[in-house]
């Protein structure tokens, strides 16, 4: 008898898994996580892949919920095939139990990777154009130049980093960043 095992993922804590849960409600076991697909640290996916057994079907709602790249998708597909576990993708109507499903699965994976690369190229172009126009990225400086000098003098006088953190209400890395900052 086939056991259906679901996997649901959203990219951030603020997003809801409800739509995916509803589509996976026929699965007696569902692994869920709120992690970006671009990160390699997806503990629930790892647990899911360890959990599935020969004859099971891993069910997801969309391919992009499962893998972060075509290579990642192929590695997961190879692992599932090695374990004799089928993959069902609900929204794209893919089931790797047949040749047509396997072909469609590989084609959609390649297209998804292409879209990711195009998006990254557009983002890099946008950043480059913004830099050319003088746009400054990152958080604005919290301390005035006078505050920075006070911070540096306090450190030179032997004040601890943790004391400076409290006094100026800064994180440890920010204190060090200001200490390294060359006056303008």
The second-level CATH assignment, the architecture, of 4-114 is 3-Layer(aba) Sandwich (3.40)
Model confidence, pTM: 0.59
Considering 11, 12, 40, 162, which one is annotated as catalytic?
11
Q: Which strand ranges, in their side-by-side order, compose the sheet holding 86-89? A: 29-34, 4-10, 57-60, 86-89, 94-95
CA–CA gap between residue 134 and residue 33 (Å, rounded): 39
Length of the chain as a residue count: 184
Nearest one of 53, 54, 59, 45 to 93, comparing CA atoms: 59
Q: In the Cβ-directed half-sphere of 114, how many Cα atoms lie within 13 Å?
A: 6
**pLDDT recorded at residue 33:** 93
**pLDDT recorded at residue 103:** 86
pLDDT at 20 over 90: yes
Angle between helices 172-180 and 161-168 (to 10 degrees): 100
The full set of domain ranges for the chain reads 4-114, 145-179
Q: Is 11 among the residues known to form the active site? A: yes
pLDDT in tens, 120-166: 899 999 999 999 999 888 777 788 889 999 999 999 999 999 999 99
pLDDT in tens, 54-74: 999 999 999 888 887 777 887
């Amino acid at each position: 008898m086939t056991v259906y095992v679901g996997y649901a993922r959203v990219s951030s804590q603020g997003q809801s898994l409800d739509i995916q849960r509803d589509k996976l409600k026929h699965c007696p076991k569902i692994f869920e996580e709120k992690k970006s697909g671009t990160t390699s640290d997806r503990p629930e996916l790892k647990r899911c892949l360890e959990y599935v057994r020969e004859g099971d079907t891993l069910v997801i709602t969309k391919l992009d919920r499962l893998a972060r790249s075509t290579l990642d998708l192929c590695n997961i597909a190879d692992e599932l095939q090695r374990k004799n576990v089928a993959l069902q993708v609900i929204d794209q109507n893919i089931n790797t139990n047949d040749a047509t499903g396997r072909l469609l699965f590989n084609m959609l994976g390649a297209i998804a990777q292409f879209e990711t690369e195009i998006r990254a190229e557009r983002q890099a172009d946008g950043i480059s154009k913004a830099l050319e126009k003088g746009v400054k990225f990152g958080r604005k400086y919290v301390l005035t130049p006078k505050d920075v000098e006070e911070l540096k003098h306090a450190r030179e006088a032997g004040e601890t980093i943790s004391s400076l953190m409290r006094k100026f209400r800064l994180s440890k890395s920010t204190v060090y960043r200001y200490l390294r900052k060359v006056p303008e």
